[in-house]
Amino acid sequence: MKTRRLTMAQALVGYLKNQYVERDGSQHAFFAGMLGIFGHGNVAGIGQALQENPDFPYIPIRNEQSGVHLATGFAKASNRLRAMACTSSIGPGATNMVTGAALATINRLPVLLLPGDIFASRKVAPVLQQLESFSTQDAGVNDCFKPVSRYWDRIYRPEQLITALPEAMRVLTSPSDCGAVTLSLPQDVQTEAYDYPEELFHKRVWLIRRGQPDELSLQRAVAAIRKARRPLIIAGGGVLMSEASAALAQFVAKTGIPVGETQAGKGSLAWDHPQSMGAIGATGTLAANRLAHSADLVIGVGTRYSDFTSASMTAFQNPDVTFVNINTAEFDAYKVGAIPVVADARVTLEQLTAALHDTKVSAEYATEIAGLKSQWEAEVDRLLNFATPGRPAQSAVIGAIWDASGPRDVILSAAGSHPGDLHKLWRARTPNSYHMEYGYSCMGYEIPGGLGAKMADPSREVYVFIGDGTYLMMPTEIVTSVQQGIKIIIVLVDNKGFGSIGSLSRSLGMGGFGTTTHTRSASGQLDGELFQVEYAANARSLGAHALTATTLQQFKDALEQSKSFDRTTVIVVETDPDAKVPGYESWWDVAVPEVSTMESVREARARYEEARKRERYFL
């Protein structure tokens, strides 16, 4: 057997370079490169291996968490068909990646994490940044990754890489099991040499299977759809990941069944498709939520029924409602007592279309669907063009971005009030033009996630929509965008604090406590003057172009100007805090204190207890 003598780190990089994926006859390299920051735990191992392999790009980032966010944004924009690896040193560099690992796993997106670790030899201990346990020597900070990784391993010997890497790839390329994969790499083992078999570095192609539905489950789903009088589809992220948008459009055009979209599934249908009712759930539209309320059959396609999608299990109020779930993951297919169809979304929708060729919703239901869609689109028109005398409404800012963007351009966000407003109002024209990280709703994802989305398809303009609270958490990857020549357009809404949580706090009777940038006054309370951060100056200091706008017209002009710039641009705009987008007959369960000295909290508790009566079990 031919062998190649390499360090463990050199063998790792050599293996990653030769991993390919194939779906529907198309084949390409799986890994686009590695992101990271070097420290004493990885510079001599992974760092040296990357230096010897310039054909495997290394991109230095400014924060390990944001590096994982960038990789996750890249994987999401690539429909899980491509991924990136992330490396860090031992200690704080490693634990900085834990949040990113949780985000990737919750969103079922592939990212490979390679944190440095303690000395496997244990001769030199404790090493700098090593966590010591009084009860075992086989524990370290990288054990934190176990609950937030789909696969976790620690490589104590260089030859263990031979069996660990195929397992990592199996998980990363699985339509049902993918998420973060963590291989903890002791810093001494990274540099140790071993005679690796030559076959380890041969090109390997991982087939992304399109799982077929079993005949009995499909028959039961067909029977349920034929029986239903008020069916509704919930399109989740699985529609986009399986590239099933065309199949979904064909299926609903033939059957007339309306579609509500989750945050991850928005864009599954073009906004102007007759069956597109827009967003569903706690951040849903009037049309989708009213149809959900009375639906007698809910067909979930690639959704995991988060509390926002189900409006905390209050969205479906028909006492006889039943469910059909189409999902590659058995774990999700069996939720809400559904008829489970464990299969690929596109394949299943195509087979349902053929089986239900003679099935159509009633004329009465079709008229109701068309009427609700017409009402909702008129409401969107109103909000996207909402005029205010001073600062623009956030909905009008969204309208201006939509007008400025092209059909394939991307709007991207993750946290604050923006996901709710965008979910309701953004008119997605094409699949993957709406990029929302709402599985973890992680503040700080937006800028690095935007870089990842841009890297996945540089031909598209990427508009990153964030608030000032999120911007302050992680603006440093602006430097990376400039260094790497990756241009994105960042729209920064300055609402002087945490606008979304401030609104939630007030709705719970707590008056927005601790959610603004008011300074501490002489009384000791946070009720002094508002502190003003110079966001445009900060963005310029990081290498970006920066523009400010105080009126809607100035903002529109800034958007047009930003298109001509050669690098990342930040547009700072203040919005009218009182011009909000309504909730549209939906609810989200956020518990209110059962006892309080504050009358406003007691009143909120009474409202909460009344609303909670609508929550249901679906067994």
pLDDT at 295: 98
Q: Is 616 helix (H, G, I), strand (E, B) or coil?
A: coil
How many C-beta neighbours within 10 Å does residue 21 have?
A: 22
Instruction: Output the CA angle 326-211-263, nearest 5 degrees.
Output: 40
Q: Is the pLDDT of residue 532 over 80?
A: yes
Average pLDDT, the chain: 95
Confidence of residue 228 (pLDDT cuts 50, 70, 90): very high
Q: Quick check: 452 and 73 in contact, CB under 8 A? A: yes
pLDDT at 368: 98
Average pLDDT over every residue of 9-31: 98
Q: What is the pLDDT of residues 555-582, one digit of tens each?
A: 999 999 999 999 999 999 999 888 889 9
Q: Where are the beta strands (DSSP E) in 40-130?
A: 58-60, 83-88, 111-117
SS3 content of the chain, % helix, strand, coil (to 5): 40, 20, 40
Q: What is the pLDDT of residues 277-330, one digit of tens each?
A: 999 999 999 999 999 999 999 999 999 999 999 999 999 999 999 999 999 999
Q: Is the pLDDT of residue 343 over 80?
A: yes
Q: What is the pLDDT of residues 378-396, one digit of tens each?
A: 999 999 999 988 899 999 9
Confidence of residue 525 (pLDDT cuts 50, 70, 90): confident
- Lookup: tokens for 332: 């999700």
pLDDT at 514: 77
**C-alpha torsion sign, points 47, 49, 51, 53:** negative
Average pLDDT over every residue of 50-79: 97
Q: Is the pLDDT of residue 588 over 80?
A: yes
pLDDT at 499: 76
Q: What percent of the chain has pLDDT over 90?
A: 90
Average pLDDT over every residue of 109-137: 93
Confidence of residue 377 (pLDDT cuts 50, 70, 90): very high
For tokens 């008020």, the residue is: 230
Q: Quick check: 15 and 205 in contact, CB under 8 A? A: no
Cα separations in angstroms, 465 against 251, 267, 417, 446: 33, 17, 10, 8
pLDDT at 268: 98
Q: Quick check: 349 and 218 in contact, CB under 8 A? A: no
What single-letter DSSP state applies at residue 452? H
Q: Is 476 helix (H, G, I), strand (E, B) or coil?
A: coil
The strand pairing partners of 117, in sequence order, are: 186
Q: Is the pLDDT of residue 500 over 90?
A: no
Question: Of 465, 357, 425, 351, whose CA–CA distance to 580 is shortest?
Answer: 425
Confidence of residue 614 (pLDDT cuts 50, 70, 90): very high
Average pLDDT over every residue of 20-28: 97
Cβ neighbours for 374, distance < 8 A, ≥ 6 positions apart:
none
Q: Quick check: 231 and 35 in contact, CB under 8 A? A: no
Q: Where are the beta strands (DSSP E) in 345-461?
A: 410-413, 434-436
Average pLDDT over every residue of 116-136: 92
Cβ neighbours for 319, distance < 8 A, ≥ 6 positions apart:
none
Q: Quick check: 147 and 215 in contact, CB under 8 A? A: no
Average pLDDT over every residue of 537-555: 97
- Lookup: tokens for 153: 């391993």
Q: Is the pLDDT of residue 619 over 80?
A: yes
Instruction: Tell me the C-alpha distance between 154 and 192, whole Å.
Output: 15
pLDDT at 506: 82
Classify residue 507 by burial, with Cβ atoms within 10 Å: 0-12, 13-18, 19+: middle
pLDDT at 509: 82
Question: Of 301, 412, 411, whose CA–CA distance to 351 is shortest?
Answer: 301
Q: Is the pLDDT of residue 143 over 80?
A: yes
Confidence of residue 510 (pLDDT cuts 50, 70, 90): confident
Classify residue 252 by burial, with Cβ atoms within 10 Å: 0-12, 13-18, 19+: buried
Comparing 231-235, 361-365, 516-520, which segment has the lowest mean pLDDT? Answer: 516-520
Average pLDDT over every residue of 236-248: 98
Q: Is the pLDDT of residue 7 over 90?
A: yes
Delineate the domains of the chain, giving CATH numbers in brackets: 3-207 (3.40.50.970), 215-376 (3.40.50.1220), 385-574 (3.40.50.970)
Confidence of residue 269 (pLDDT cuts 50, 70, 90): very high
Confidence of residue 594 (pLDDT cuts 50, 70, 90): very high
pLDDT at 436: 98
Q: What is the pLDDT of residues 397-429, one digit of tens each?
A: 999 999 999 999 999 999 999 999 999 999 999
Q: Quick check: 445 and 414 in contact, CB under 8 A? A: yes
- Look up the pTM and report it: 0.96
pLDDT at 188: 96
Q: Which helix (H) or strand (E) holds 336?
A: none
Cβ neighbours for 472, distance < 8 A, ≥ 6 positions apart:
533
Classify residue 159 by burial, with Cβ atoms within 10 Å: 0-12, 13-18, 19+: middle
Q: Quick check: 80 and 105 in contact, CB under 8 A? A: no
Q: What percent of the chain has pLDDT over 70?
A: 100
